[in-house]
Structure 1
């Protein structure tokens, strides 16, 4: 019962934190629409956010894996070593990125020019320290999670998003567009500061210690673990980074439109994916540890079934109701009808990648549980940097920005197929008998698409409410019927 309450509290805090992050995008749209200013704000934060999620996630995951197996006598030294290495490397990289920001931004986003390029460079120079604080904050969150303080770490993320939003929106009059750069640094610093000061009060102090002492082997294990985790866990962020790199070569406002559409697909995917993983991962870990292969296979089937029931109707809803979704949520202030017309078709295309992205994340966990990380990493790298980029380069002249979505869709579906075939051949994991629930999913999705024409004459807000309620009912009934 205690764990149910903890998970419930963490889920609520995480949803609020995500809502604050989403609200930040809405406010940027309100203030700057799809102008080059919005492009610059979004582009400038792309790199710190990428480092936070990818590098911070890999370091934290590898750290927890090694730390949890250490003898008590070695744990504090290991903490000190990682703390020291992170501070030194991240501080040096931060200084370098500030000094050479112009070269760095040009290297990644060569399509930016004129005012957009200069503003992005200046915003990034202010934002760059947020990478240091974000990675430190994520690593400290890992430390606290080992101790069982899940609510504290979830609250720290909420602090980051809350401060980022408050400073960005509230200090625009004082700092103009730089309010978001200041907000990113302030939010990241306060997140890390909260976790660090709390650790000093309740745990042993963390010292600056360069010598590895008896932990040389553990540090080597840590580095060997971090690299495949980094590559495997970065798949989603690599897609977004590549999209923005290519979008920078297109007309003004495309980066902003792509960002708004992406956020609309990320939010339901993250919430629904979390619902599955929160239930499935503990069961998976225990079953693999107990060598219960049949149970692992059943968990695999159930998770895939749930993902289809959750995400296929959600995809149908986003594709059918894309225009009123963008209009109702974003069309205020500087975000006008033209911005909506530019953004909602991207949402329709990107919605098709929700299911394969979630499936890839889910199936990959089974390989990790079996301590087979290299195959999913290879598939991810082949899909992201091979198939995805090949498709984009082939069709960008004809399709423009839509080539970015097509590349993502084809690459993620291919990755999913590779993973499912390998899981079947290597571990005998199958989807079982999918006919009943697949028919239900297709029928529900078809009715959601048809419902759009039925409510087309309604006010946009009422139209969304009807479509959203219908989608929620189909999802809940499906989960109940095929649990």
Structure 2
């Protein structure tokens, strides 16, 4: 018995020793790979700095260098994100087929991938060269004209770099898979070495052109070395394109999220450059030079550690060795953190000295040194958070939780743009650098907090065992033991209950907020009060989504109206910001599946973003409008996700109708008091009401959308409540009539007839047709009694030119340039018409395009108007495709949405209010109603004989509807 027990007693000790040995082996392998990669990276960075010293001495920090950096932004950005996608997708698949498959399969996969890359890169590079002017504009919208022209001229020498850089990354990844790290890494030294040679030989004569040629030749030499090394490694190339290979499909599945994440991540530098382009000349060069200096520790330490650490963290995660996973992570967080902290101190303290020694030669002035040094300090502040975030993100990759990293990356880009906008205004290039540091601090907190929630305590304050061993070897073990004893005696964090720690965190947060509020009150008490109240409201909206949607319905149409209370109180920000934040947590994909038209709407808005460089309204105004547009999509997604019951559906509809009733009554009141409207310029004495919009076409557009909704709600009512619904419908009809808007007078009857055609039963069709005729008769009686000239505008001679709109359309078409792929930018059509002052002898006709298609064509080019057309085609297609299996109630709401669509389509030929802040949200709320989650539950319940459990209220409503539709 004693003999049998001994192995079992020895097993834990032996197992612990094996784990310790295994951990040491892991650390040894990581250090070996780290040494190879770090030494190569260090040498490349040193040569890169030598290259930068020569370049800055020759060309300084002028607009010429701004042009070079702008021209190289797009190819370098694309090459980096393609390299990230290749590393994440190709290496695992290729390594697996090398182990499990034959050499022939590996060769075929290698050749297919190489040929696919070659074809894509060559075609895309030619595409970029064809539209090089537009790509330069995207890179730096605020670049001066002479620098913009120089950047455009340099693109034929810089854009081909994309081909060579991407192919080099591909070959280097495959060579690393074969265990060859040294030569592929050291081959990168050829690029700065060749560039320096060309600049020294011909930079004085040919200028910055030699810098471009040197970079291109260096890339070519690097890929030649990698090809030679690949041949020695027995890579076999064949001219084959096996697109049916399952490995290609696997790579495609893994590559697209990695590519998307890398795209978003790399776009931060582009965002910095966009904001820097509006600053003083040389700001882009200062940021670029500071980034090159800060890239030395990033490239040597962060990149090397991350690349060496990821395979071993992945192995530990795969074997569920979470203790080893945490130990490895903690060790390298401590090591990198200490090294980065020392680097930060050196960078901040010696910023001016470093820049002066390296760059202040030749054309690089003392003023350039000061600007670059202060920018370097801004970036250095965030080095430690950047290091922690970089290593922690590799832990998430090892755990396979890349989707969360995608969300964090999206947050980083948005936060970077916000911080750039705020800080650049106050501190120029230093502000942009400081914004980057602030973003890294935020992401570090998010990553560490989330990682702890997912894998448990990280014990980051506990010194790693390897550090303890070093202390003992240095004979500092007693000091360490005394410190541990003191810490355990006076600071027993582990003995503090979890709820107490949470309470302490809350108290600390409250204290910080209180301090910030006190400081804010001293400087601007009113603004601080607004922020404090707004924060509470935003938090409530983030918690109660349905209440948030009701707030959108109640407030959005009033913001920007003639009612003073709703203007200047940051109400729009209070609605838009939480809406954008909610898109990071609510399920977007199911909503897009239910209503595919939202995908086209989102794509249209993304295409708008591409034209930010062309926007004549300014970058700040552009992003303000664009975020409001994105909020339209987000509200549609929230509507689809949140309306899960009939009570919620009817609550949103009732809220919209109550708002419409108020606006209609206010418009009728304004007609009789001659307020909030205008007199017609062609018919003497004809007053047209505009209600809170102060614009009759906008009022007609809004009310014509809500009239089919009022019909739908009235049909669902019974008894006296139905009479109330008819009264509301009559008020809406009278208010629309008092706008004397010809497009609405035509679209409203047509939309009601269309709605009648799609109703679910003959009885309902006859009833609605009779009711519509009766309402029209009553409305005509009221108009006759009041002697309103309703039809006079149809008999006016200006109807042939649509009240002069054809002159505006001709002006837009005359100034449209098909070669402008991205269009002229958001709001450019209004700026053009404002400058042209189009008129035909009776004053200026208008400054708005008055047609959504021409508006999209001029502002966003042929691609923009194509996406808009696809959107307007997809909407009725989605609605009609849902009719086949629709229940009677859903068929009725689809008919309502089709009627709303007709009103929108017809009136959008003459006005562009569909994109205004006051109208846009309501358009997508109403059009999303046929696709809300409630209909899936309702459809399932009726298909399965009410096997799905419903509330008593919903069952009662369904029974009433079945009686109505019978």
Q: Corresponding residue for 1:467?
A: none
- Does residue 1:264 correspond to 2:290, yes or no? no
* 2:249 corresponds to which of 220, 238, 241: 220
Q: Corresponding residue for 1:407?
A: 435
| Structure with more relative contact order (C-alpha pairs < 8 Å, separation 6 or more) | 1
* 2:173 corresponds to which of 122, 142, 145: 142
Q: Corresponding residue for 2:450?
A: 422
Q: Corresponding residue for 1:59?
A: 86
Asked whether the 8 Å contact 2:198–2:214 carries over to 1, the reply is yes
Superposition RMSD on alpha carbons, in Å?
A: 2.8
Given the superposition, is the C-alpha separation of residues 7 and 273 from structure 1 closer, same or farther in structure 2, using an over 3 Å criterion?
closer
Q: Corresponding residue for 1:446?
A: none
Residue 105 of structure 1: how far off its partner (Å): 0.4
Structure-to-structure mapping, 1:385-464, within 5 angstroms: 386-433=414-461
* 2:201 corresponds to which of 154, 170, 179: 170
SS at structure 1 position matched to 2:96: coil
Q: Deviation per CA, 1:81-100, whole angstroms, max 9, x where unpaired?
A: 21111111100111111221
Structure-to-structure mapping, 1:118-137, within 5 angstroms: 118-137=149-168
Structure-to-structure mapping, 1:228-377, within 5 angstroms: 228-233=257-262, 237-274=266-303, 276-277=305-306, 280-281=309-310, 283-377=312-406
Structure 2 unaligned regions, length at least 5: 1-24, 465-473, 481-966
- Does residue 1:193 correspond to 2:220, yes or no? no
Residue 155 of structure 1: how far off its partner (Å): 2.3
SS at structure 2 position matched to 1:209: coil
Q: Deviation per CA, 1:19-57, whole angstroms, max 9, x where unpaired?
A: 112222222211122111121222222222222222123
Q: Deviation per CA, 1:284-334, whole angstroms, max 9, x where unpaired?
A: 244224321111111122222122211122212211221122112211111
Given the superposition, is the C-alpha separation of residues 419 and 477 from structure 1 closer, same or farther in structure 2, using an over 3 Å criterion?
farther
Asked whether the 8 Å contact 1:276–1:306 carries over to 2, the reply is no
Q: Deviation per CA, 1:401-454, whole angstroms, max 9, x where unpaired?
A: 333123212221111111101100011142432599xxxxxxxxxxxxxxxxxx
Q: Distance in 2 between matches of 1:162 and 1:428?
A: 48
Runs of 4+ in 1 over 6 A off after TM superposition: 1-6
Q: Distance in 1 between matches of 2:358 and 2:133?
A: 34
Given the superposition, is the C-alpha separation of residues 169 and 246 from structure 1 closer, same or farther in structure 2, using an over 3 Å criterion?
farther
Q: TM-score, normalised by structure 1?
A: 0.84
Q: Distance in 2 between matches of 1:435 and 1:358?
A: 18
Q: Corresponding residue for 1:94?
A: 125
Q: Deviation per CA, 1:131-177, whole angstroms, max 9, x where unpaired?
A: 10110111011121122221121122122332233223333145321
Q: Corresponding residue for 1:28?
A: 55
Given the superposition, is the C-alpha separation of residues 412 and 8 from structure 1 closer, same or farther in structure 2, using an over 3 Å criterion?
closer
Q: Deviation per CA, 1:62-87, whole angstroms, max 9, x where unpaired?
A: 11111112222532222122111111
- Does residue 1:45 correspond to 2:72, yes or no? yes
Q: Distance in 2 between matches of 1:201 and 1:284?
A: 31
Asked whether the 8 Å contact 2:306–2:390 carries over to 1, the reply is no
Q: Corresponding residue for 2:789?
A: none
SS at structure 2 position matched to 1:159: helix
SS at structure 2 position matched to 1:69: helix
Q: Distance in 2 between matches of 1:156 and 1:418?
A: 37
Q: TM-score, normalised by structure 2?
A: 0.43
Asked whether the 8 Å contact 1:231–1:381 carries over to 2, the reply is no
Asked whether the 8 Å contact 1:130–1:188 carries over to 2, the reply is yes
Q: Corresponding residue for 1:440?
A: none
Residue 190 of structure 1: how far off its partner (Å): 1.4
Q: Distance in 2 between matches of 1:370 and 1:117?
A: 45
Q: Distance in 2 between matches of 1:241 and 1:316?
A: 28
Asked whether the 8 Å contact 2:287–2:433 carries over to 1, the reply is no
Given the superposition, is the C-alpha separation of residues 313 and 98 from structure 1 closer, same or farther in structure 2, using an over 3 Å criterion?
same
Given the superposition, is the C-alpha separation of residues 410 and 14 from structure 1 closer, same or farther in structure 2, using an over 3 Å criterion?
closer
